Every structure is written in structure tokens, then in C-alpha cells.
Structure 1
Amino acid sequence: MTWRTTAFGGVVVLVTAGMTAYALSAIAENDRRTSTATAATTTTLAQVEKGPRIVFRHTGRDAEYGHVGAVALADPGGPRALTDLSCDRVYAQDRSVSCLRTERGVVSRYRATDLAISPPGQAWREVDETDLPGLPSRTRLSPDGRLVSTTVFVNGDSYLASGFSTRTAVRRVGGASYGDLERFKLVVDGRRVAPVDRNIWGITFADDGRTFYATVATGGRTYLARGDLAERSLTTVADHVECPSLSPDGTRIAFKEADESGTRWTPAVLDLATGRRTVLTGEARSIDDQIEWLDNDTVLYGLARQGEPVSDVWALDTSTTATPRVLVPEASSPAVLR
């Protein structure tokens, strides 16, 4: 489990370092915040919600850092609407928003908030709030907005000498939970197993209300597993896959592929019917994110600027020779609402 502990621990260190760097810079620049405007002009949420859009976490070095924003899909680098909702991680579908956040204090608390997207011009409505057992990492909603998944980092598992593990759960938005996915029946390479060191993260949902895909890690290996909520089961279908994301047409999985150290990731695509993998070598940087699909031929991911607390959302075609480009500046955690 050394590779996994190193990878998760590295992510947590990077997240913490980024938050610390921002806090220090914010104090130093407090008197100049009003002049450090975002790279894009602003508009109203009602205007953006009139059509397809991208919802994201704003990362501009200003007073709205960490707030949820939205831009028109037709003009992703153009005017953005910024909300009062602040999140560490966000995801959205046409009817719902999932927000994971940290409430800092003497003892920090972690929460997941489900919100309903109201008609354009009206505020999003909170429908549920749930305590989380650890540091927010990933969240996804099903295509119909009725199911939500959360992944957090935790520590203290008995099989760990040090470092972090994960907890992943699926809930009905505003309703009951299916519980910790580590309790689901697990089938690896055709054989039912019950390892104590299993970790599950990076949920992506199909559109049938029961099927999902996830990363399962055990015994020093990572697998892509197909989950069934009705059967409460996870069955591996491929290996060496992390943070899957199902394409809009349901035929491919975008994911991050780790190197031997488990600390550097390259975006890749897996064809579910043939098992053929395409590594997107046009992106030379390490991508530690759960990829989002812009359309059936393009993927999105957040990437921090070197030496800055600011990140941008990048777009990359799924051909091997494509060149990445900034799609939404000063943003992370993208969700495409078509």
C-alpha cells in the first residue's frame, strides 16, 4: 500500500499547501483585492442559465476565490456568473448541485450540501446537508441529478502505518444513502474477495439509475470496476485506471493513468467495448483530477498554475497528438450542463 499512501498523502499535502499559499497572499494583498479583477467580466446567473453552460469553482485571486461560478458553454472564456456558494469541490447537472466544503475552526468539519437548481433568475435551493468523515476529494451526480457520490480522505485505518485512505458513498439527493461502498460485494478478476485494504474513489454514473464506475485499489493495484446499486456489487473490468469519467454516449471512460511511482498521472481514454486504451500524450503535465467530458471527443480537467494558488480548466481532444488549451481561466472542478 506504499504507492497509494504516497499518492493520497501527496494530494493532501498539495491541497493544504495551496490553501496556505492563498491565505498568505490574500493577507498581503487585502488592500488591493478590489483591483485584482478576474480574467473575465461578470454577468448574472439568470443570463448564463438560459442555455448550456459550465459550472465550476472560481480560483481568481480576489474576494470570490472558491465560490461557484458558471459560464455559457458557447463562450467559456467570456463573462462568468459568480454565486455566494463556496466549495472545495463542486459538480452539477441540470437539476442539482453537489458542494463539498471545509468549515475551518479549532476542529475542522467537512460537509456535503445538495442543492436544487431553480428556474433561471431564482436562487439555488438547499435540499440536504451531510457531515463528511474526512477531507473532501471528489463528487459526482448522475445524469438525471438524482444520485450523488462523495469521496473524502481519512486516516486511522488499521492496515495503514501512516497516511490517508478513502471513504466513498452514494446517496439519493436529499434522501437515503447506499452507505460506504467498501461494504459492497467485490469481485476482482472473476473472483469474489474481501480484502481489508480496499479503497474506492472517483465515481461516475451511467444513465440507468443503478450502474456506476469507480476506481478500486487493493493489493497495490488499481482497477476500473462496474458498480450496481441494486445488487450492491463492484466487479472489476480493467486495471490501472484511476478517477473514471463516463463519456456522454456511454461508450468510453476517460481516466488518469499513473506512472510507476503513483504520483504522476497522464490523461487516457478506455473503449469499454474493445478494451482499447488511448493515452493522451499531448498533455505532458501531471493531471491529478477527475476528468470531465466537454463532448464525446473532448475532455476537461483542472490544472494549477506553477507556483500560484490559481488553476485553470483545460480542454484536450481525445486524439493522441492533440494540444491542450485553456478553456475556462481561473477555474477548477468543471461540470458541463448541455
Structure 2
Amino acid sequence: MSAPPTHRRRTAFAVLTVVVLAATGWFVTTEVLRARAEQAAPSAVEQAEGVLAGPHVLFRGTAPGDLYGRVSAVALDDLSGPREVTPVVCDRVDSDGDTTVCLHTRRGVVTTYEAEVLDGAWQTTASWPLPGIPSRTRLSPDGLVATTAFVSGHSYASTGFSTETTVHRADGSDMSGNLEDFTLVVDGERIAPVDRNVWGVTFADERTFYATVQSQSLGRTWLVRGDLADRTLVTLLDGVECPSLSPDGTRLAFKHDAREPGTATPHWTPAVLDLDTMAITVLDTEERNVDDQITWLDDTTLLYGLPRADEPGTTDVWALPADGATDPVVAIPQAWSPSVVRG
């Protein structure tokens, strides 16, 4: 006697489900094994010893393979040359040569995030937890460490992002708390929008810094001058994001929102602000979207990271003249988060 039609359909569905689950399991296992093999494969980068002993640029390596994510260095006078690779893995890095700040992700059953301060031997001297995904860090000449993490949202282009930015001493002691708790002064008036976010700190001295403050409810994004002693954020200009102070202290490089009117998604273009005249030069020879905190190579050249469109996970550090006179060029291939150490 043949099985009823309903029973046959159920049996066929059960067999199909088993086949689909088996195929899915095979695919997932294959992809995991492939990814592990790629991570274990030797990275195709030229290495050299002694680079860290002289002036150099420190960065996060993004060449595929076993060195992916490792902090590396190239000589300041040979940016595309061989690199010295350290044992440290970071998402973001900044350094003065003697002290290095590393923001990184610790993956596990529960993923956590951490800031570490490292000495010249790459040993941890201080650490503290971050509340979310690492985004920005800057080390001051006086040993202060600024960190920004996404508490929610993964991009400054998202409408619902929230950040936490703090300043610590290099020994790990917290001296600022969340910069959102500082007094915000706009056009001489104290305001306290509940949705304000602060990010992109760049230090001028042991108490003064520049940063970005945004309130989405007010539709405003400001450049602010911060004072760690007075715990104030005083607005200077609208529309300045992720400022970076030049070595001579006279200009700020930043990302300028150059989107077309009526466009929802930001398009960030490098720009330079003269702090004496408050004149802005937009460097539109760079036509791509630069979502990074720009670094000064020297007083005439900017560095920033850009992802490769055809190689997920791989980025390059590009160089652009601070006057926008010529087109950008690749400075350090397969790199991210550059930090200039002049020695």
C-alpha cells in the first residue's frame, strides 16, 4: 500500500531539509577552513630589521596572511619600502616612539574591546576597557591618551551612532570621564543637547585639544576647542569633523562633508583650516570618500587610509599635499592608521 500524499510530501520536505542543512554546514565549514588557511598563509610583504630605531611611520598592516593586523613600521624616508613587524595586533594605533597606544578587539564567546599602552619593548604598561568598537585614538606629547569608541552604530555616516570619548593619562588613570559631560558653549551660550557626541580629539598641549561635537537633533556639527582643566568645549566653526593639528600648530586638517544638496549620505573630502585666518581650503583633488582622521606626515603632506574596493579588508595609506596642488598617491600599501614618529 502506497503512503498517503500528505505523508509523502512531509517525507520529501524532511529529506530536502536534511540536504539543505548538510550543504549549508559543508559551505560554512569550507569557508571557515579557507579563511583560516588565508590567515595562516605567509603575508607577501618585504620585511627588514632596525626600522623602528630611526624616524618611521607606524601603522596597522592589512596585507592578507599571517601578519594581518600586526603593527608595523616603514622608514620615514622610504614609505613604500620594507617594514619591520611587531608582535602587537591593533585596530587603531598611535605612537611617539617611546609610548604606543593600541585599540583592539578581543574576540571570543563575548567580544570585548580594550585600550592598551605599550612601552618601547612592546610590553603593556596600562590598559582599560572600551565600551564599544574602537574608532579613534591620539597620544599627546605630554602622555595623554584620547580614545573614541562606538557605543552603538559602526559609522559616522549612520543616523543612530553614539560615541564615547575619554582622555586618560598614559598610566591608565582616567582624568576626563566622558567628554560629553563637559560644558558645551555655542556662540557664547551654554547648551546641553541630550544627543551630543564627541570624537576626533587632537591635542595642542597638556590641557588644550580640538575635537568634533555633533547634535543630530539640532542638525549641527562643530569644531570645538576643549579645555581639560576647565572641562569646557567651545565651538569655533561649523562642519569640521575629525580634526588633526599640523606639526607647526598653525592648521587643522579635517574631513569636509562635500555631499550634493539633497543627498542623505555624507561624502567626506580632505580639507585644511588655517587657525589664524579661519580660512578653509578643500582638497578636492581627492574625489573619493575619506572617512578617516587625517595624519600629518609633515607640515606640507597629509596621510589617510582608504579601503581597496576590490579587496575586502585591505587598505592603503595615501599621501596628499596639504595645499591640494597635486593628486593623492599611495604612500604605504596595505596599511591603516598611520602614526608619524620623527625620532
Q: Please report the TM-score for the alignment, with normalisation by the length of structure 1.
A: 0.85
**Larger Rg, first or second structure (1 or 2):** 2
* Shift of residue 221, structure 1, vs aligned partner: 1.4
Q: Does 1:37 align with 2:34?
A: no
Alignment partners' CA distance in 2, 1:25 and 1:74 = 40
Alignment partners' CA distance in 2, 1:130 and 1:67 = 20
Q: How many residues are treated as equivalent by the alignment?
A: 301
Alignment match, 1:336: 340
Choose between structure 1 and 2 for higher RCO, CA contacts under 8 A separated by at least 6 residues.
Answer: 1
Match of 1:78, SS state, is coil
* Shift of residue 188, structure 1, vs aligned partner: 1.1
Q: What RMSD over aligned residues (CA atoms) do the two structures have, in Å? A: 2.0
> Quick one: which of 91, 96, 106 aligns to 1:93?
96
* Shift of residue 164, structure 1, vs aligned partner: 2.4
The amino acid of 2:80's aligned partner reads G
Q: Does 1:285 align with 2:283?
A: no
Match of 1:295, SS state, is coil
Alignment partners' CA distance in 2, 1:139 and 1:26 = 34
The amino acid of 1:310's aligned partner reads T
Alignment match, 2:194: 196
Q: Does 1:153 align with 2:150?
A: yes
Alignment partners' CA distance in 2, 1:236 and 1:202 = 14
The amino acid of 2:242's aligned partner reads C
Match of 1:179, SS state, is coil
Q: Does 1:27 align with 2:30?
A: no
Unaligned runs of 5+ in 1: 1-22, 118-122
Q: Is the 2:42–2:66 Cα contact (8 Å) retained in structure 1?
A: no
The amino acid of 1:298's aligned partner reads T
Alignment match, 1:84: 87
The amino acid of 1:27's aligned partner reads R
Following TM superposition, the consecutive aligned residue runs of length 4 or more in structure 1 with deviations greater than 2 angstroms are: 23-29, 31-36, 161-164, 259-263
Alignment partners' CA distance in 2, 1:71 and 1:243 = 25
Per-residue CA distance 1:288-322 (angstroms, 9 max, x = gap) = 00000001111000111113121110000012332
Q: Does 1:238 align with 2:237?
A: yes
Of all paired residues, the percent bearing the same amino acid is 53
* Shift of residue 91, structure 1, vs aligned partner: 1.0
Q: Is the 2:58–2:341 Cα contact (8 Å) retained in structure 1?
A: yes
Residues 324/286 of structure 1: CA separation in 2 closer, same or farther (3 Å cut): same
* Shift of residue 195, structure 1, vs aligned partner: 1.1
Match of 2:297, SS state, is strand
> Quick one: which of 257, 265, 273 aligns to 2:276?
273
Alignment match, 2:328: 324
* Shift of residue 174, structure 1, vs aligned partner: 1.0
Alignment match, 1:212: 209
Unaligned runs of 5+ in 2: 1-29
Alignment partners' CA distance in 1, 2:139 and 2:52 = 18
The amino acid of 1:327's aligned partner reads A
